A = this chain, B = another copy of it.
Amino acid sequence: MAVSIWLRPERTGRGPSPAFDRGRIAAAGVALADADGLAAVTMRAVADSLGAAPASLYRYVATRDELLELMVDQVNGDVSYDGLGAGDWLEDLLALAREARERYRAHPWLLDGIEAKIPLGPRATDFLEHALAACAAASVEPGTAIEAVAVILALVGALTRAELGRRAIGLTDSERRQAKSEYAAQIVKAGDHPHVAAALASRAAEQATDPDAQFDRVVTRVLIGLLGGR
């Protein structure tokens, strides 16, 4: 029950051939989100833009969240991997970063979230003030300081998210997490994506290592790299 959409095969079998497929539905959703934001992606709107009835979508997608998952994956496909592996790794990663930036620029709704905008509430401003004061002590040019703080906050968010996600992959928490875990297992079994499989395996093994020490190490490295060595 509630298995991940990537493990469920696309339509095949006995009845009449389906009018659409996951790709077309995802594309319709992406078009709506690009035009009017994530909130405009309602089941009715997607169905309308496809010339179908709302209820029909549920033949392809179990829930709206799955539709969003389809949209994210669709957008993740707009990446060119040409010319990778020719130069050094730094160039490769920079190129991938640029690709990711293009993705976010073209589809800003990917960044939609509760902390999406630059945080500017009163207490957030307090935090920002202290962080910028520390940056000033590092004699960072003020123009890039606020960028640096944004990087730090995103970095912390990513590490925390990774930490929470690690538990999700390792342990069987809720059903939904277990579904994700099953898909990860299938990636490992499939054999393509060897690096991803290795990372997932080592991630499960590394579960015992101290995440706090790793956190400090990563943050320190990034800060030194970003703001200059001591």
Q: Which residues of A contact B (CB under 8 A)?
A: 6, 38, 68-69, 72-74, 76-77, 79, 81, 84-85, 88-90, 92-94, 96-101, 104-105, 108-138, 142-147, 150-165, 168-169, 180, 183-184, 187, 192-196, 198-200, 202-203, 205-206, 209, 214-216, 218-227, 230
Q: How many protomers of this protein does the assembly include?
A: 2
Smallest Cβ-Cβ distance to A164: which chain B residue: B108
Closest to A109 in B: B114
With a CB–CB cut-off of 8 A, which chain B residues contact A6? 120-122
Say what secondary structure dominates the interface of chain A.
helix
Bound CA span A216–B111, Å? 20
Known contacts A6-B122, A117-B168, A157-B154; is A198 also within 8 Å of B72 by CB? Answer: no
Partner of A222, one of B123, B193, B222: B222
Nearest chain-B residue to A111 (Cβ)? B161
Contacts of A159 in B (CB 8 A): 101, 147, 150-151
B165–A117 contact, CB under 8 A?
yes
